[in-house]
Amino acid sequence: MESMVPSIVFTPGELADALGALRASTPLVQVLTNAVVTNFTANVLLAAGASPAMVDVPGEAGGFAAVASGMLVNLGTPHGEQRAAMAEAVAAANAAGTPWVLDPVAVGSLGIRTNFALKLRDASPTVIRGNASEIMVLAEAGSGGRGVEATDTVDSASAAATALALRSGAVVAVSGEADLITDGTRTVHVHGGSKMLTLVTGGGCALGAICAAFLSLTDDALLAAVAGHACYSAAAERAEAIASGPGSFAVAFLDALHTLTPAELASTAVLS
Amino acid sequence: MESMVPSIVFTPGELADALGALRASTPLVQVLTNAVVTNFTANVLLAAGASPAMVDVPGEAGGFAAVASGMLVNLGTPHGEQRAAMAEAVAAANAAGTPWVLDPVAVGSLGIRTNFALKLRDASPTVIRGNASEIMVLAEAGSGGRGVEATDTVDSASAAATALALRSGAVVAVSGEADLITDGTRTVHVHGGSKMLTLVTGGGCALGAICAAFLSLTDDALLAAVAGHACYSAAAERAEAIASGPGSFAVAFLDALHTLTPAELASTAVLS
Amino acid sequence: MESMVPSIVFTPGELADALGALRASTPLVQVLTNAVVTNFTANVLLAAGASPAMVDVPGEAGGFAAVASGMLVNLGTPHGEQRAAMAEAVAAANAAGTPWVLDPVAVGSLGIRTNFALKLRDASPTVIRGNASEIMVLAEAGSGGRGVEATDTVDSASAAATALALRSGAVVAVSGEADLITDGTRTVHVHGGSKMLTLVTGGGCALGAICAAFLSLTDDALLAAVAGHACYSAAAERAEAIASGPGSFAVAFLDALHTLTPAELASTAVLS
């Protein structure tokens, strides 16, 4: 089945235009995410040129989802009150046409988030982003990773990603050494990036927020997800070049996201 | 009405003395704040010379408020249990005479925090700090900003700030390109600072905590708020001069807050 | 009684072997900690070579504790849902033989955490880590510090630490200028480190997580705790040497934890 998926590549100019549009519009991104990464995620959005709003209180989350440019629902620490806010926000986003990203952190053996993620999978997310093990669980093709770590490779999750995209209607992004992004018929690999991102907590979680920012700028969710991943990879490469370890890498990554120009993105992104 | 407010300026020596007193006394600042910025806020307080204590559990928050030097109540992510702790802490702070700062993050269209903020406005805060849109909402003169962003200017909020100060009895501080701080009869502008602070999440929230630290050192809440804003601006200017982006700015800002001397504050602060 | 405790010292080779084993096995550390430091704690674990998982939702925390390599229970912001998760996790960890660390942040006058900490003290923690005032409260020999700060010295807590170790069966670690670590019969001091750690929120909290990582690598909990403290001190010294303040110190500390080799640890650790 995988061999029937045609490989297409967006042009450098399309990536540059997407980043230019983000900078011009400062999309308002609602973030319902885990307690570990909320600060880093907000700073990543600010650095990239978006405006974060961590509205995850029941009674407020739905109203905000109706006016946000895009939204992230990340299940890393899904406490009861936050799960209620997420359900409210997803319903309101769908009613209002607000695009949203689902990040099913560490699904598999952890029952509460896994059951909740399966429900959200079937609630029309625009993008589902995770590591290979998480994507396989949502595709009901695997049993999960080791905590928040993937124990499966991106390649091994390729068929599951395509099946999940076709089933859910979402673009599915699998993070790894090269990221695989598919809408079920078109598949793109984003190369580059840095392994250092795996040594900074929230490295993957904030990527979901960046994708939510790009979703408000184009009707092509695949392009939005690819642009988000390409920006992320470009900034990570620049950061790794000057970092002395994961502490200085995280600092340099925020700086690089902020200073990355559309032209630089176009000239460095490697897709296949 | 605004033209009737006399413009007064504290002397550089008064600002230097306030910072010297903070360093000498290490005030114990209780912080009930949003989940996004709690880490940055604690680090800002430590860098400036205060001792942060994030005590926001019902059953503990009130007892601690009675012994804290100052307190911050920030409504950025007002979950149910935290709102209960805030109500308990405010009552205890008022009973004990502990000065406290209210930061009404993103009030306007978000109902839960807005209703709660209006109640807290009428519960004798010592200082109210926010952006122009937030202050106008509390003065019942505006409808709020865009998420956590102001869509109104500091100048346009000047009359609202004065009215809010007279109504609430609090010193009101409006953050913006130049900060406006008023007790309803005296108004001070603090110039300088850095736009980079708007690219670091918690840039405004932590300023409220710094004001809470200064409140314990003087009976003049206007002087305390002005000193807090002046320290903040001085550190931000020093950080911007060496930063390559928002990541390195945040790091340099903490370093600058820590190394800023009273004499340097006195020589660089610009008030009007 | 204190003079009857023999002073023993682990060899540099034993410390190096412990760090080598950590790097080789990437222990999976479950962290139930306070909202202020969760991000820094995860980054410290990643930098040191462990894999953090902040699983603190009731219904998930127990199942995860049964498979984690080690676990940290830190009482800095003990909200109701998290306390339930902690109780569930501790029971499961004990049933499965998962070693765990108790960090009784700011016990003393704060009733909810103090009562809860006393219960956890009696629930067979493998290590109890705190500052002098916290350890004295758990030993029922003191009334607590000032917020999260110790108001007692490590030396003054020495007898309390030994008594607490004998009573609880845990290794007890008292953080301070020199750290004191005892299992009730053997006592080790870890020298060095940096006072800058007290200016970074979570400096102590993340140390508890590092100890949890080492606990999975040896049956000698005293060696694990000493190795964790020695790594921490070595990284802090390297960071202080290049830092300009607490902001750059925190960044350099993460870099140093990541790049510290077993041989460097062996050559720089000072025990007595």
ipTM of predicted assembly, 2 dp? 0.95
Disruptive mutation site among C23, C38, C77, C200 for chain A (greatest number of A CBs within 10 Å): C38
Q: What percent of chain B has pLDDT over 90?
A: 92
Do the Cβ atoms of C57 and A106 come within 8 Å?
no
| Contact (Cβ atoms closer than 8 angstroms) between residue C84 and residue C41 | no
CA B93 to chain centre: 17
Domain count for chain A:
1
C216 interfaces chain A, CB cutoff of 8 Å: no
How many beta carbons lie within 10 A of that of residue A44, not counting itself? 30
pLDDT of residue C2: 44
Q: Report the residue from B113, B148, B200 with minimal CB separation from A43.
A: B200
Reduced to 3 states (helix: H, G, I; strand: E, B; else coil), residue B32 is strand
B54 interfaces chain A, CB cutoff of 8 Å: no
Q: Please determine, for residue B267, whether its predicted confidence score (pLDDT) is greater than 80.
A: yes
C110 interfaces chain B, CB cutoff of 8 Å: yes
Mean pLDDT value across residues B107-132? 97
Do the Cβ atoms of A200 and C46 come within 8 Å?
yes
Residue B44 to chain A, least CA–CA distance (Å):
14
Nearest CA in chain B to A82: B79
The structure tokens 């400036």 sit at B48
Pairing state of beta strands A179-182 and A187-190? antiparallel
pLDDT of residue C5: 45
pLDDT tens track for C145-195: 888 888 899 999 999 999 999 999 999 999 999 999 999 999 999 999 999
pLDDT of residue B8: 57
Reduced to 3 states (helix: H, G, I; strand: E, B; else coil), residue B99 is coil
Confidence of residue B147 (pLDDT cuts 50, 70, 90): confident
Q: What percent of chain C has pLDDT over 90?
A: 92
Please tell me what DSSP assigns to residue C98.
-
Please tell me what DSSP assigns to residue C6.
P
Q: Please determine, for residue C7, whether its predicted confidence score (pLDDT) is greater than 60.
A: no
- Which CATH number belongs to the domain containing residue A139 in this structure? 3.40.1190.20
Reduced to 3 states (helix: H, G, I; strand: E, B; else coil), residue C101 is strand
Disruptive mutation site among C77, C116, C197, C242 for chain B (greatest number of B CBs within 10 Å): C77
B53 interfaces chain C, CB cutoff of 8 Å: yes
pLDDT tens track for C210-243: 999 999 999 999 999 999 999 999 999 999 999 9
Q: Enumerate the residues of chain B whose CB falls inside 8 A of the CB of residue A257.
A: 245
Q: Report the residue from A78, A200, A245 with minimal CB separation from C57.
A: A78
Mean pLDDT value across residues B212-231? 97
A250 interfaces chain C, CB cutoff of 8 Å: yes
Q: What is the pLDDT along chain A (272 residues), one digit of tens a residue?
A: 344 444 457 999 999 999 999 999 999 999 999 999 999 999 999 999 999 999 999 999 999 999 999 999 999 999 999 999 999 999 999 999 999 999 999 999 999 999 999 999 999 999 999 999 999 999 999 888 888 888 899 999 999 999 999 999 999 999 999 999 999 999 999 999 999 999 999 999 999 999 999 999 999 999 999 999 999 999 999 999 999 999 999 999 999 999 999 999 999 999 99
Do the Cβ atoms of A248 and C255 come within 8 Å?
yes
Q: Report the residue from B35, B60, B251 with minimal CB separation from C35.
A: B35
Residue C204 to chain B, least CA–CA distance (Å):
14
Is B203 annotated as ligand-binding?
no
Is A129 annotated as ligand-binding?
yes
pLDDT tens track for C33-90: 999 999 999 999 999 999 999 999 999 999 999 999 999 999 999 999 999 999 999 9
B246 interfaces chain A, CB cutoff of 8 Å: yes
The CA angle B214-B219-B222, to the nearest 5 degrees, is 65
Is C13 annotated as ligand-binding?
no
Distance between CA atoms of residues C9 and A44, nearest Å: 45
Tokens standing for residue B55: 């005590």
pLDDT of residue A8: 56
| Contact (Cβ atoms closer than 8 angstroms) between residue A150 and residue A134 | yes
pLDDT of residue C8: 58
pLDDT of residue B4: 45
pLDDT tens track for C148-159: 888 899 999 999
Distance between CA atoms of residues A203 and A74, nearest Å: 13
Mean pLDDT value across residues B104-119? 96
C201 interfaces chain B, CB cutoff of 8 Å: yes
| Contact (Cβ atoms closer than 8 angstroms) between residue A27 and residue A213 | yes
Do the Cβ atoms of B35 and A51 come within 8 Å?
no
pLDDT of residue A148: 86
Distance between CA atoms of residues A43 and A253, nearest Å: 11
Tokens standing for residue C209: 């997580």
Mean of the per-residue pLDDT values of chain B: 95
Phi/psi class of residue B55: alpha, beta or left (left: φ > 0; alpha: ψ in -120 to 50)? beta
pLDDT of residue B6: 45
Do the Cβ atoms of C245 and B35 come within 8 Å?
no
pLDDT of residue B2: 44
CA neighbor of C161 nearest in space, from C176, C146, C172:
C172
Do the Cβ atoms of A112 and C38 come within 8 Å?
no
Q: Enumerate the residues of chain C whose CB falls inside 8 A of the CB of residue A149.
A: 51
Task: Give the C-alpha distances (Å, rounded to integers) separating C210 from A247, B265, C24, C216.
Answer: 17, 39, 15, 11
Nearest CA in chain A to B251: A251
Which range of residues forms the domain containing residue A156? 2-265
Do the Cβ atoms of C199 and B81 come within 8 Å?
no
pLDDT of residue A7: 47
Tokens standing for residue B231: 């320290």
The structure tokens 């450098």 sit at A12
The CA angle B164-B167-B170, to the nearest 5 degrees, is 70
Chains in contact with A, where contact means 3 or more Cβ–Cβ distances below 8 Å, are B, C
Type and span of the H or E element at B95: helix B80-96
Is A175 annotated as ligand-binding?
yes
Distance between CA atoms of residues A5 and A8, nearest Å: 9
Q: Enumerate the residues of chain B whose CB falls inside 8 A of the CB of residue A52.
A: 147-148, 201
Q: Report the residue from A51, A59, A258 with minimal CB separation from B149.
A: A51
Instruction: Provide the H-helix boundaries in A139-220.
Output: 158-168, 203-215
Residue C57 to chain A, least CA–CA distance (Å):
6
A59 interfaces chain B, CB cutoff of 8 Å: yes
Q: Does residue A271 lie in a domain region?
A: no
Nearest CA in chain A to B82: A57
Q: Enumerate the residues of chain A whose CB falls inside 8 A of the CB of residue C51.
A: 146-149
CA neighbor of B192 nearest in space, from B244, B162, B229:
B229
How many beta carbons lie within 10 A of that of residue A81, not counting itself? 16
Confidence of residue C143 (pLDDT cuts 50, 70, 90): confident
N-terminal to C-terminal alpha carbon distance within chain B: 18
Q: Does residue A272 lie in a domain region?
A: no
Distance between CA atoms of residues A114 and A104, nearest Å: 8
CA neighbor of C213 nearest in space, from C271, C114, C129, C119:
C129
Distance between CA atoms of residues A72 and A146, nearest Å: 23
Q: How many helices (H) and strands (E) does chain A have?
A: 11, 8
Disruptive mutation site among C64, C81, C254 for chain A (greatest number of A CBs within 10 Å): C254
Distance between CA atoms of residues B216 and B223, nearest Å: 11
Type and span of the H or E element at B194: none
B146 interfaces chain A, CB cutoff of 8 Å: yes
A43 interfaces chain B, CB cutoff of 8 Å: yes
A242 interfaces chain B, CB cutoff of 8 Å: no
pLDDT tens track for C84-134: 999 999 999 999 999 999 999 999 999 999 999 999 999 999 999 999 999
Q: Please determine, for residue B9, whether its predicted confidence score (pLDDT) is greater than 90.
A: no
Do the Cβ atoms of C244 and B250 come within 8 Å?
no
C242 interfaces chain B, CB cutoff of 8 Å: no
Amino acid at C178: A
